Amino acid sequence: MVKAMLGEGVLGRAVERGVVTVGVHDLRDYTSDRHRTVDDVPYGGGPGMVLKAEPFVRACEGIRRDHGEPASVALMSPQGRPFRHAEAVRFSQLRHMVLLCGRYEGVDERVRDQLVTDEVSIGDYVLSGGELAAAVVVEAVARLVPGVVGDAESVRQDSFARGLLDYPDYTRPASLDGHAVPEVLLSGHHGAIRTWRKRQAVRRTRERRPELLEHAVLDDEERAALSALENE
């Protein structure tokens, strides 16, 4: 599933071009029993199964041997620190990192003690497995690696890079079932368009994610737009 996802789209093309490399490893390949067992019952009892530490340890040994010491070993888990743009930037600057996917109800704590340098959550909800979360992190991090996205300017303009939500976009037709595109976008007046977009971005952010404005770096026009909204 993870291999299929990472082979698609912007990331898949970047991998084909050799700009980034992604390896996917199956924990079962790092077991030594006939049934390739990756989980076991929890010591002390209780519901559910716990992922064994050994397959993680052996997998990391193999990865270290083949690719050298990773700059981060991140465990995907709902107990982790929230994954945000700042973490994506930090990870994008590492030469090599490992993402460990937890599954079932838990992971033997010695995985954290012996291997993990970062524990990462993609949001306040529970996924049965960390695989989708890992794919989310890989996608978000890879976008920030130079050369992965063709247009570097579009990455710089991305909403969380600036700390504001995006302004609304429109494309043809100019009128759809009586719903017109805002006049200013058809005006050809680039200054007026830029000002309108900044106002829209500030308005949306204030309405939907006001907490983002505490850390957003605003230019003069954006600050003016925000004061205008606050005086409405």
Please say which residue, 98 or 133, places its beta carbon nearer to ligand 6GU: 133
CB of 77 to ligand 6GU, least distance (A): 5
Q: Does 127 bind ligand 6GU (CB under 6 A)?
A: yes
CB of 122 to ligand 6GU, least distance (A): 4
Among 50, 59, 76, 165, binds ligand 6GU (CB under 6 A): 76
Q: Is 82 a catalytic residue?
A: no
Q: Is 105 a catalytic residue?
A: yes
Helix (H, G, I), strand (E, B) or coil at 209: coil
Where on the phi/psi map is residue 133: left (φ > 0), alpha (ψ -120 to 50), or beta?
A: alpha
Provide the CA 17 distance to its chain's centre, in angstroms. 21
Beta-bridge partner residues of 176: 179
CB of 195 to ligand 6GU, least distance (A): 38
Q: Is 143 a catalytic residue?
A: yes
Q: Does 118 bind ligand 6GU (CB under 6 A)?
A: no
Provide the CA 54 distance to its chain's centre, in angstroms. 28
Interatomic CA distance for residues 129 and 151, integer angstroms: 33
Q: Does 77 bind ligand 6GU (CB under 6 A)?
A: yes
Nearest CA-CA partner of 51 in 132, 133, 129: 129
Task: Count Cα neighbours of 200 within 13 Å in the Cβ-side half-sphere.
Answer: 14
Residues identified as active-site: 78, 105, 143, 158
Residues in contact with ligand 6GU by the rule CB under 6 A: 76-78, 80, 102, 120-123, 125-127, 129-130, 133
